[in-house]
């Protein structure tokens, strides 16, 4: 593999230097230039494993930073800064796979300078109720890609969120829940049952409490449905098909067709 031009920590690979050593110590080597300007020959294994990330200036800078007294080591911002660097750099971190493991890094200006991160945070609306959030969830922790937000915005910006586009507007299911006024599990159930987004959103949903007060569930169970030429009440079909009556009633209350509610298998 040609590593020319690739970056490993502060190293930039200049060119291949050949093989050095003998026997089990034999290894491919590369001429590399550090961000500070120093040029050295580095073994390929040390580059790929992360054992060598600079000519030594990284450790020196870290030591200087650790010796710097800023009086903020016990603050919430300092703990956030430490955690941010840990999940991007420490392979033993329980969060490394979702951050450093995906190539997410902390920008050089924040990596080794807490006060730079602190100054940016204060200027960009930090408060104890907010959390740091990356605008592009696949991007790095850097000034142009970070913001301070509340937990609602943070949750809406997760990679695993289910988003829906309706009439040109794209939102998470939680955001549609707040706008439309009924619970998100209704939308999820309808869509997982094969409904189009338009039908799932536009089909009215009656309040379940109102239905129970007026015996609506009993009326549903008594309703007759024809399946394969046989007529039975929904209650009877539940006994015949082994379907849970509460599940079937819930499906119908959420707008599912009676036939589908009885015949579509329940997902485990």
194 and 224, same domain (yes or no): no
Is 2 part of any domain?
no
Q: Report which of residues 242 and 122 the model is more confident about.
A: 122
Count of structural domains within the chain: 4
57 and 79, same domain (yes or no): no
75 and 149, same domain (yes or no): yes
In 11-74, DSSP assigns E strands to 11-20, 27-34, 39-43
94 and 149, same domain (yes or no): yes
Between the two ends of the chain, the Cα-to-Cα distance in Å is 46
Task: Find residue 225's DSSP bridge partners.
Answer: 232
197 and 137, same domain (yes or no): no
42 has pLDDT over 80? yes
pTM, to two decimals: 0.39
Is 228 part of any domain?
yes
Q: Please state, in angstroms and rounded to a whole number, the distance separating the CA atoms of residues 124 and 61.
A: 26
Is 268 part of any domain?
no
149 and 104, same domain (yes or no): yes
pLDDT in tens, 58-78: 777 666 665 555 678 888 999
**Domain, as residue range, for 119:** 70-156
Is 1 part of any domain?
no
75 and 57, same domain (yes or no): no
Instruction: Output the CA torsion 22→24→30→35 (10° steps).
Output: -120
Nearest CA-CA partner of 56 in 82, 36, 29: 36
Q: Which two tokens stand for residue 54?
A: 């600079």
Is 148 part of any domain?
yes
Q: Report which of residues 58 and 162 the model is more confident about.
A: 58
Torsion sign across C-alpha atoms 14, 144, 148, 170: negative
212 and 183, same domain (yes or no): no
196 and 214, same domain (yes or no): no
- Rg for the chain (alpha carbons), in Å? 29
Is 233 part of any domain?
yes
Torsion sign across C-alpha atoms 98, 100, 101, 104: positive
pLDDT in tens, 171-229: 766 666 666 665 656 776 776 677 777 777 677 665 444 344 334 567 777 888 888 88
Nearest CA-CA partner of 162 in 188, 136, 190: 188
- Identify the domain boundary among 156, 188, 222: 156
């Amino acid at each position: 593999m040609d590593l020319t031009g690739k970056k490993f920590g502060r190293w930039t690979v200049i060119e291949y230097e050949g093989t050095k050593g003998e026997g089990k110590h034999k290894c491919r080597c590369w001429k590399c230039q550090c961000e500070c300007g120093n040029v050295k020959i580095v073994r390929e294994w040390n580059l790929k494993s992360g054992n060598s990330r600079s000519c030594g200036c990284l450790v020196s800078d870290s030591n200087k930073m650790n010796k710097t007294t800023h009086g903020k080591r016990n603050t919430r911002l300092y703990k956030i800064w430490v955690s941010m660097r840990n999940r991007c750099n420490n392979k033993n971190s329980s969060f490394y796979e979702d951050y450093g493991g995906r190539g997410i890094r902390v920008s050089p200006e924040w990596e080794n300078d807490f006060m730079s991160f602190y100054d940016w945070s204060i200027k960009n609306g930090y408060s104890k109720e907010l959390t740091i959030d990356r605008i592009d969830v696949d991007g790095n922790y850097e000034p142009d890609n970070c913001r301070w937000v509340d937990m609602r915005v943070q949750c809406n910006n997760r990679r695993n969120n289910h988003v829906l586009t309706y009439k040109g507007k794209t939102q998470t299911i939680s955001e549609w829940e707040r706008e439309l006024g009924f619970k998100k599990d209704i939308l999820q159930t309808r869509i997982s049952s094969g409904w189009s987004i338009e039908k799932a959103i536009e089909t009215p949903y009656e309040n379940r409490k109102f239905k129970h007060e007026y015996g609506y569930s009993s009326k549903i169970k008594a309703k007759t449905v024809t399946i394969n030429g046989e007529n039975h009440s929904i209650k009877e079909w539940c006994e015949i098909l082994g379907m849970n009556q509460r599940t079937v009633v819930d499906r119908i209350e959420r707008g599912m067709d009676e036939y589908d509610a009885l015949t579509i298998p329940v997902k485990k």
